[in-house]
A and B are shown apart, each in its own frame.
Chain A
C-alpha cells in the first residue's frame, strides 16, 4: 500500500500565501479567545478543591446540591457529572489548610442519606502552590523552547532554528486557543500535552528540514523554493503515516482512557493535526522569507569542508612526524 508517490514535486510554496493567511487568522482568533475567554484553569494552577464521588446508581445531583448547600464550606461549589452518570465531581475555589480536618470526611458527612457512594478522589491545591505550578509551567515552556532553539541552530543554521520556533509558537498558540475555546480544564496534564506537542511538532518540522538541508547540499542547481517543494513532497508519506499512527493511538486514549485523561488526549489530538499542518505549510515558507541563500550556504559549507581538510592534513602530518 502506498499513499503518495509523485513523479514531480508538488508546489507547496506556491500555496504558502494562502496557508500563511489561514495561520495568521487562526493565531489571531486564538489570541482573541485567550484574552477574552481565557483558560479554564483547573485547581492545579488556580488552587482549590476537587472531590470526586461515585454512586452505585445514577448520582442524585439535585439532592446532593440541596444537602451540600447547608454547609458553608460548599457555598460556591459546582457539582457536575464526571464521565458517567453515577460519577460526580464537586469543585470549590476554596481550600482548607488544616491537616486533620478533611474535606473528604466533611463531604461524606454532608452527603449522608443520598444513597451508597464512595469518595474516590480528593485534590486540594493551595493558592500558593497553584501559583508556583503556573510559574513553573511557563518557565518549562520557555526553557524547552530555548533548548530546542540552541540545538537546531547548532545542527542546522540559525534561520532553521527561528523558523522552527515560529512554527512551534504557531502550534502551541492555536492548540491553546482550542483548549480555551472548548473550555478544557487546564491542569498539569494539559501542560504536559502542550510540551509534548512542542516535541512532536518539532519532530515533524525537523524531518522536513533535514530533507531540505540534504537537498541544499546535493542539488546545486535548484532554487530554495524548488528544494523545499521537493523535500516536502518526498517526506509527505512519512509525515502522513506517522501523524496517522500517533493520531490513532491518542484517539484510542481519548475514547477509552477515561475522563481524567480527556484534557490531555484532547490537547494532543488538536496538537497532532496542527503540528502536521505547520510542518508542511508554516515552517518552510518562513525559511524562504528569512532570505536563506543557497549559494552562500554552499560557499560556507565549502569553506568549512576546506578547514576540516586542512585540519585533517595537519593532524596527519603531525602524526607522521613531518612538521
Chain B
C-alpha cells in the first residue's frame, strides 16, 4: 500500500482533536479549556461611558485650589477668585506681584493665561482639553482594573471599546449582592477633598440656597450619614485626592473601622500649612460630595496623615480603601449598556442548546446512514471528527463559547455534511455513468472540489465580516462558524478521501453499490 498521506493527516487531526478537547469535555483542571460566555455561565457585562467634560471641570477646580495656596503661601493678596466650566479668574491686588503669579501659572501644563489690568484669566489650550479627556478615559480603565483586581473575581475584563467606551465583563458573579458591590466599586468616584468649613457663615447654612452660597464662594454639602445635616464649605478645596499616596483600613479607639490615609510631601506641606493657620476651625473631609467628618483642628498636623471615620462595616471600609488607593476617577462614568445573566439562566441555556445539538446531530447521523449507507457512515466519522476538532481549536485559542456560538456549532453540523453530500452525489453520478469504482471516487472528489471551496469561502467571508463588525455574543457565533467551516474542509474533503483510499481495494472488488453508496445499482 502506498503511503496514504490523507489518512495520516486525518488521524493526526483526530488525535489533536481528542487531546485538546478533553480538558473542555471532561472539565478537568489542567489544560486549556473553552471559556463559557457570560450568557452561559452567568455574569455581568457593562459598557461604560465617561463624562469627560467633568474631568475638565475638576482640573479647573484643582488649578483654582493651587492658585489659592500659592497666594496664601507667598502672601500675595488676591481677590474674586472664581471659576466656571473652563476658566479660572482672579484679581491680583498688588500689580507688582503679577509677574510672579504669571511665572507660577505658566508652569501649569497646557495653561493659557490672559492678563487684563490686574485680572488674570486662565484657560486650557484645545490640545490640553483633548489630552485631559483622553486621559480621563485611560485613567478610568486603569482605575477600574485596579479596583476589580482587588475585588477577588477571577479574570475580570476591563478594556477600551471604540474610542471612548469601557467594556467591563465579570464572569461568575453569583448573587445580586455581589453584583451590587462590584457596580459600586467600579462607579465610585472616590474623590477625596479636604475643605475648609466657612465658620463665619455656617450657622446660617439652613437658610441658604445654593446660589446664596455660591455668592460667597461656598457650597452646601450634606453629611454622609445624615443628609439632613448640612455644612457650608469653601468651594475651592484645600487639597484633593490626587495627592493621596495610600489608604488602609484601620480601627479607632472604639474598635470601629476607619480609613487611614497618607498624603505625598506636597500634600503634607499644604495640609500642615492650612492646619497651622486655622487652629480652632473645622476641616471637612469630603468624599464624593458628602461630608464624612468635620473635626476641629486642634493643632498643626504635619506628616500628612489623616483619618476618615464613618459608620461603615469592615467590608464597606475595605472597598472604600480600595477605591481611594486605586485613585479617584478623573471623570464620572455612566452606564451605556448592561447585560447581566443569572447563573441559573446560563445553566438552562446550556441544557437547551445541548439538547438541540445532540438532537440535531443524531438526526443528521441517522439520515446520512439511511440515505448513503456506508458512504453515510464515512461522512459521519468526518462529522464527529469535525466536532471534536472544533472543540479542540476553540479550547486551544481559549475562545469563548456563547449561546449564539452554540447555535453556530449546531449550524456547522447541518452544513458540514454538505461537502460530503456533494462528494457522494458526484460519486453516485459517475457510477451511473458506468465508471469504475476507483475512477468514480477520484473524479468525484476532484469534480466536487471547486464547488466546495467556492461555497465555503463565501460563507467564510460572511463569518469574517460578522466577526469584525459584531459585538460580544455575535463574535462568538462568527468564531464557531469560521472554525467549523475550516475544520469541515479538513475532515470532509481530506478525511473521507483518506478513508476511501484505505478501503479502495475492498470497494473495487465489491459489486454491492447499494452497500457502499446506497444506490439501487
List the interface of chain A (C-beta within 8 A of B). 1-2, 5, 52, 54, 95-100, 102, 104-105, 108, 118-126, 128-129, 133, 136-137, 139-140, 143-144, 147-148, 151-152, 155, 188-189, 191-192, 195-196, 198-200, 202-203, 206-207, 209-211, 214, 234-235, 237-238, 241-242, 244-253, 255-258, 260-261, 264-265, 268
Say whether B256 faces chain A, with CB atoms less than 8 Å apart.
no
Flag if B461 contacts A148 (CB, 8 Å). Answer: yes
Residues of B contacting A265 in the complex (Cβ-Cβ under 8 angstroms):
407
| CB-based closest 3 A-B pairs | A249-B360, A246-B414, A99-B187
List the interface of chain B (C-beta within 8 A of A). 46-49, 176, 179-180, 183-184, 186-187, 333-342, 344-345, 348-349, 352-353, 355-356, 359-361, 363-364, 367-368, 370-371, 403-404, 407, 410-411, 413-415, 417-418, 421-422, 425, 428-429, 432, 447, 450-451, 454-466, 468-474, 477-478, 481, 518-520
A289 to chain B, nearest CB (A): 22
Q: Which residue of B lies closest to A49 (CB)?
A: B338
Flag if B334 contacts A97 (CB, 8 Å). Answer: yes
Residues of B contacting A252 in the complex (Cβ-Cβ under 8 angstroms):
355-356, 359-360, 363, 410
Residues of B contacting A95 in the complex (Cβ-Cβ under 8 angstroms):
335
Tell me which of B333, B353, B461 contacts A144 (CB under 8 A): B461
Flag if A248 contacts B348 (CB, 8 Å). Answer: no
Tell me which of A108, A151, A253 contacts B410 (CB under 8 A): A253
A218 to chain B, nearest CB (A): 11
Residues of B contacting A99 in the complex (Cβ-Cβ under 8 angstroms):
46, 48, 183, 186-187, 333-335
Tell me which of B176, B348, B407 contacts A105 (CB under 8 A): B176
Flag if A250 contacts B371 (CB, 8 Å). Answer: no
20 A-B pairs in the complex with CB atoms less than 8 angstroms apart: A5-B432, A95-B335, A99-B187, A99-B333, A124-B335, A136-B469, A140-B466, A151-B458, A152-B454, A196-B481, A198-B462, A199-B462, A207-B451, A210-B450, A245-B414, A245-B421, A246-B418, A248-B363, A248-B367, A256-B355
Flag if B411 contacts A124 (CB, 8 Å). Answer: no
CA distance A129 to B165 in the complex (A): 10
Flag if B47 contacts A129 (CB, 8 Å). Answer: yes
A241 to chain B, nearest CB (A): 5
Main secondary structure of the interface of A (DSSP, over half): helix
Residues of A contacting B348 in the complex (Cβ-Cβ under 8 angstroms):
258
Residue of A118, A244, A268 with highest tally of chain B CB at under 10 A:
A244
Main secondary structure of the interface of B (DSSP, over half): helix
Tell me which of A52, A241, A253 contacts B356 (CB under 8 A): A253
Residue of A151, A234, A242 with highest tally of chain B CB at under 10 A:
A242
B337 to chain A, nearest CB (A): 5
A243 to chain B, nearest CB (A): 9
Flag if A241 contacts B471 (CB, 8 Å). Answer: no
Flag if A248 contacts B466 (CB, 8 Å). Answer: no
A196 to chain B, nearest CB (A): 7
Flag if B404 contacts A238 (CB, 8 Å). Answer: no
Flag if B451 contacts A206 (CB, 8 Å). Answer: yes
Residues of A contacting B414 in the complex (Cβ-Cβ under 8 angstroms):
242, 245-250
Residues of A contacting B478 in the complex (Cβ-Cβ under 8 angstroms):
192
Flag if B183 contacts A248 (CB, 8 Å). Answer: no
Residue of B341, B455, B462, B478 with highest tally of chain A CB at under 10 A:
B462
Q: Which residue of A lies closest to B466 (CB)?
A: A195
Q: Which residue of B lies closest to A96 (CB)?
A: B335
Tell me which of B341, B342, B356, B469 contacts A143 (CB under 8 A): B469
Flag if A144 contacts B462 (CB, 8 Å). Answer: yes
CA distance A257 to B355 in the complex (A): 7
CA distance A139 to B413 in the complex (A): 28
Q: Which residue of A lies closest to B425 (CB)?
A: A238
Residues of B contacting A242 in the complex (Cβ-Cβ under 8 angstroms):
414-415, 417-418, 421
CA distance A155 to B450 in the complex (A): 10
Residues of B contacting A1 in the complex (Cβ-Cβ under 8 angstroms):
370-371, 518
Residue of B46, B360, B367, B458 with highest tally of chain A CB at under 10 A:
B458
CA distance A232 to B465 in the complex (A): 30
Tell me which of A124, A192, A264 contacts B470 (CB under 8 A): A192
Residues of A contacting B337 in the complex (Cβ-Cβ under 8 angstroms):
124-126, 129
Instruction: Please judge, given known A-B contacts A124-B337, A188-B471, A234-B429, whether A249 and B413 are in contact too, CB under 8 Å.
Output: yes
B485 to chain A, nearest CB (A): 9
CA distance A98 to B48 in the complex (A): 10
Flag if A122 contacts B338 (CB, 8 Å). Answer: yes
CA distance A151 to B453 in the complex (A): 12
Flag if A248 contacts B187 (CB, 8 Å). Answer: no
Tell me which of A52, A123, A192, A264 contacts B466 (CB under 8 A): A192
